[in-house]
Structure 1
Amino acid sequence: MKNYDVIIIGAGSVGVPTAMSMAQNKIKVLVIDALASPGQGQNKKAIGGIRATHSDKGKITTCQRSIEIFSTWKEIHGDDIGWIQNGYSFPAYTDEDAKKLKDLMKIQESFNLDIDWLTPKEYLKIVPGINEKNLKGATYSPRDGSASPLLAINAFYFKSLEYGAQYKFNESVLDILVSNDKKLKITTNKGEYKAAKVINAAGNHARQMGQMIDLDFPVVPDSHEGAITEPVQRFFGPMIVDLRPSQDPDTEDSANFYFYQNNEGQVIFCLTPKHLMRGTASEATSVFLPQVAKRMVELFPKLANLKVRRTWRGQYPMTPDGFPIVGETKEFPEFINAIGLCGQGYMLGPGLGEILTRIATCELTQDDIDVLKHFNLYRDFSGIEQFK
C-alpha cells in the first residue's frame, strides 16, 4: 500500500490545479479519477468564462486570484491557454435589474472588484448592435475574461507532473476508511492507498464520497446545456449575461442566458432552465437550441446568421444556496471538501487550489479564514448567491 501526504479524489477543474499547487509546495500528492484522463468530467463541458463578478467576498477574492493565474500563465510558463481579458457585462432592461446591479456594485467595489456602470451609449461601444429598446445600462468588469478549459487543464496537469504530482486514472473509489494509524485509506477497483489527508473534489460524485464515511453533503447535480458556433471575426467584447427570465410562451422555461466570443472567434452560449433538470444525464435535448437561439437573436440581432457547430449538456453540482462547500469536516478533520462548486469550478479552481494547499499545510492566512467562512459546510444555507 502506497502512502501519500494528500490524496485528491477527482482530476477536474479543482483537483488538477490543487495537485499542481500542492506538488509545487513539495507535498506528496496523488490524484485518483474514474475517467481516462484529466478534465473528462464537467471540466470539458465548461464554456470557459472566468469572472470575479460575484456577490460575496469568498467567490470574489478566490476568483481574483484565479484570474491572476490564468492571465499570467503564458507569460510565466509559456503555454497558450486561450486567455483573453474580454470582461463580463450584465445589461439591465428593467428598472428592477438596474437597481439590483447597482446595489450589488457597492458590495463588489468594497472587495476591490474593478467594475463600472455603463450608460446605454457607453455599452453600445463595446457591444455594437445590441438591442437598445428599454436598455437602462450595464455593469462591466473589464478584468474578467475567458480561457480554453481543454488547454488550461492540460497546462495545469503537465505542470503538476513536472512538480511531482502523481495520478491514477481509470480507478473508481470504492471505499474510504480511517485506519488505525489515523490515516485515511482509499480503496479503488485497482488498489489501496493511504494519506494523512484526503480532498473530496469529486464533482457530481461528491455526495457519494461523503456517504462512504457516513457524511451526507447537500450537493445535487442539475443539468445545463451549452453550444458553440463556427469562428468569425471578432464583433463584440465582453461576456453578455441577460438576467431576465423569458416571458415568451415559446421560451418560457428559460431563466437567464449568457454568451461570449472566445479567443478563436467562436460564440459560446448557455442557458439556465427555469425548471431544473436534476441528475447526471448528459444527452443533449431538442429543446435547448430553439429556446436560446430565439432569445439571443432578439437581444443581439447580429448573431442571426452564425452556424452552430454542436451542443452539449453538463452538470452543475449545486448546493442549496449556490455557494461552494470547502474545508475540513468536524467528524474527520483529515477529510477536506472542495465540492458543490455550482458550475463555477473552472473559474474558482486555481484560486481554491492554493487555499486547499494552505489548509493541508496548516498555513491559512486571515484572508483565507474569511473566505472559508463563506464556504463553510456547517452554515445554515439560508442565503442565496444572486447571480449564480
Structure 2
Amino acid sequence: MNPSHTTTHDIIIIGAGSVGLPAAFYASKAGYHVLVIDQEASVGQQSNKKAIGGIRATHSDPAKIRLCQRSLEIFSTWQSVYGDSIEWAQGGYCFVAYRSEEENTLKQLLEKQKQYQLNIDWLPARELLEVVPDLNPAGLHGGTYSPKDGSASPLKMAAAFYDHSARQGVQFRFSERVLEITQVSGRVTGVRTDKGNYAAPIVINAAGAQARQIAALVGEDLPIFPDSHEAAVTEPVAPFLKPMIVDIRPMPGSSNFYFYQHVTGQLLFCLTPSPQIWGTDSRETSSFLPQVASRMIQVMPRLKHIRVRRTWRGLYPMTPDGFPIVGWSRNTEGFLHLAGMCGQGFMLGPALGELTTRILTQQLSPDDQETLSYMEPIRAFTSQEVLQ
C-alpha cells in the first residue's frame, strides 16, 4: 500500500490475538466496519500461539467470574452454532490441596464462587480420588472440582474468529507495525503504520505484550509488564485424565503449576515462575523441564514414564493487581484499552469481545458496569486476584 493513501474505517483494532479477534468479530456483527492490524504475519502468533487452552470460570472476583462464565457458553456451543471444531472438551478443573494453607484458601474462595452460581465444590481426599484416581494420595487433603470448566484449541479458535470475521467484512493488515496513533485536538483520527495510513474515530489497543508501547503512543503509561512463562507438551497416550490439575503451593522457583490431557491424548503443562521473569525473552530454558517435572510427578506419580515432545516460552502481559485493563482512555477520546490479560486472554477473549461491543454501542448493563469497575484503566492497582 502506498503510505500516502488513507483508508477509512469505523474501528481499528491493534492486535489479532485472543482478545483482538473476538472484539473484531462481535463489532462487525454489530455493523461496524473494522480493520485489524498486527505486526505478525498471521493471526494468533504471539501469546495466543503459546497458550495451552484452559478455560475456567472459577476465579476469585466477580469480573472474571462473569466474563468466563459467558466465555464458557461461547466455547461450548461454538461448533453447534458456527460449525467449527475448536477441540472443546468439558473436563473440568481441579485445584488440589496437600497442605492446610491451600485447603483454607480454596474453601474461603468457595463462598464467593458459590454466590455467582458456579458449579464448584470442595471434595475431601477420598471423593477427589474417585474423580482423579491417579492423584498421589499421600498427604492429600482434598480439592475443589468444577466440572463445567474445560479447554479448547487457541489456534483453532483464532482461526475460527478470523474466518468468520473476514466473511463479515473485517479487513486485516498483517506484518505492519503501528508507528503512530493520529489525533486532532485530543481525538483519535486513525493509525499510521510502516506501510500505510488508516482513518477511524475509534482505535482499540489489544496488542497483548506490546500494549504498553501502543498506549505510550497516546501519552499513557499502562502498568503492563511482560512476564515469561514456559510450557510443554508430551507424546499422546491413552485417555486417563479429564480435569485440569492445578497445584497452587508455592515452592522454590515456582508459585504454582497446572496440567491436563488434551483431546488428542497429549498432556499440556505450564509452571508459574517465582520470582517472576520480567522481560520479552521467549527462549526456552534448561531449568523449566526438570523443575516442573518434579512437581508433576509428586502430584501424579504415573506421569514419570511419559515422554515430553516439545517445550516453549511465552509472555503473560501482567498488571500489578492481576486484573485486565479495559476502558476508554482518559486522555485521548476514541482510544479504548483492551489489554493486560495476565495470561488469561484466551479464556476472557470471547466474553470481552461481546462486552467491547456493548461499550461501543453504549448498551452496558448494571453487571457490565460492575465488571468494568474492576478493570478500569485509572485505578489504585492495590487489590490482588487470588487465582491468577
**TM-score by shorter chain over 0.5:** yes
1:37-68 residue CA offsets vs partner (Å, 9 max, x unmatched): 00001100001000111000100100111111
Given residue 217 of structure 2, which amino acid in structure 1 is its aligned partner? M
Correspondence 1:132-281 to 2 at 5 A? 132-179=137-184, 182-246=187-251, 252-281=252-281
Write the distance in 2 (CA, Å) between the matches of 1:336 and 1:115. 34
Determine the C-alpha separation between the residues in 2 that align with 1:83 and 1:317. 25
Find the counterpart in structure 2 of residue 2 from structure 1.
Answer: 7
- Partners in 2 of 1:93 and 1:79 — Cα distance? 40
Q: Which amino acid aligns with 2:141?
A: K
Give the equivalent residue in structure 2 for 1:58.
63
Deviations 1:345-367 (A, max 9, x none): 00000000000111112221221
* TM-score scaled by length of structure 2: 0.97
Whole-angstrom distance in 2 between the partners of 1:54 and 1:184: 38
Q: Is the 8 A contact 2:326 2:338 kept in 1?
A: yes
Q: Which runs of 4+ in 1 moved over 6 A?
A: none
Task: Report the alpha carbon displacement of residue 3 of structure 1 after superposing the two structures with TM.
Answer: 1.3
Aligned counterparts, 1:1-388, within 5 A? 1-179=6-184, 182-246=187-251, 252-388=252-388
Deviation at 1:117, TM superposition (A): 1.0
| Distance (whole Å) between structure 2 residues aligned to residue 183 and residue 209 of structure 1 | 13
Query: Aligned with 1:286: secondary structure?
Result: coil
CA distance in 2, matches of 1:376, 1:138: 33
Give the superposition deviation at 1:180.
6.0
CA offsets 1:319-357 (integer angstroms, 9 cap, x no match): 001110001111123111011100000000000000011
Q: CA deviation digits over 1:101-142, x for unaligned, max 9? A: 111011111112111111211111121121112211110111
Say which SS state the counterpart of residue 199 (structure 2) adopts.
Answer: strand
- SS of corresponding position for 1:316: strand
The alpha-carbon deviation at position 204 of structure 1 amounts to 0.8
Letter in 2 for 1:107: K
State the 1:198 CA deviation: 0.8
**Identity, % of aligned pairs?**
53
Per the TM alignment, residue 260 of structure 1 is displaced from its structure 2 partner at its CA by: 0.4
Q: Distance between the aligned counterparts of 1:172 and 1:125, measured in 2?
A: 52
Give the superposition deviation at 1:181. 10
Cα pair 1:197 1:360 within 8 Å, conserved: no
CA apart distance, 1:253: 1.1
Instruction: Note the residue ranges of structure 1 that are not aligned, 5 or more in a row.
Output: 247-251
Task: Answer whether contact 2:186 2:331 (CA < 8 A) is retained.
Answer: no
Q: Distance in 2 between matches of 1:164 and 1:147?
A: 26
How big is the shift at 1:82? 0.4
* CA distance in structure 2 between the aligned counterparts of 1:329 and 1:319, rounded to whole angstroms: 17
CA contact (8 A) 2:190 2:203 kept: no
Match of 2:3 in 1: none
Q: Secondary structure at the match of 1:222?
A: strand
CA distance in 2, matches of 1:212, 1:260: 40
**Structure 2 counterpart of 1:238, one-letter code:** P
Q: Quick check: 1:222–1:315 contact (8 Å CA) kept in 2?
A: yes
Deviations 1:217-251 (A, max 9, x none): 000001000000011111121000001122xxxxx
Looking at structure 1, the residues matched to 186 and 302 of structure 2 have their Cα atoms a distance apart, in angstroms, of 64
8 Å contact kept, 2:187–2:333: no
Distance 1:328 1:181, change over 3 A: closer
TM superposition shift of 1:184: 2.3
Q: For the structure 1 residues 371 and 196, does the alpha-carbon distance in structure 2 shift closer, same or farther, using more than 3 Å as the test?
A: same
Aligned-partner residue type, residue 19 of structure 1: A
Distance across 1 between alignment mates of 2:344 and 2:301 = 29
2:136 & 2:164 partners in 1: Cα distance?
44
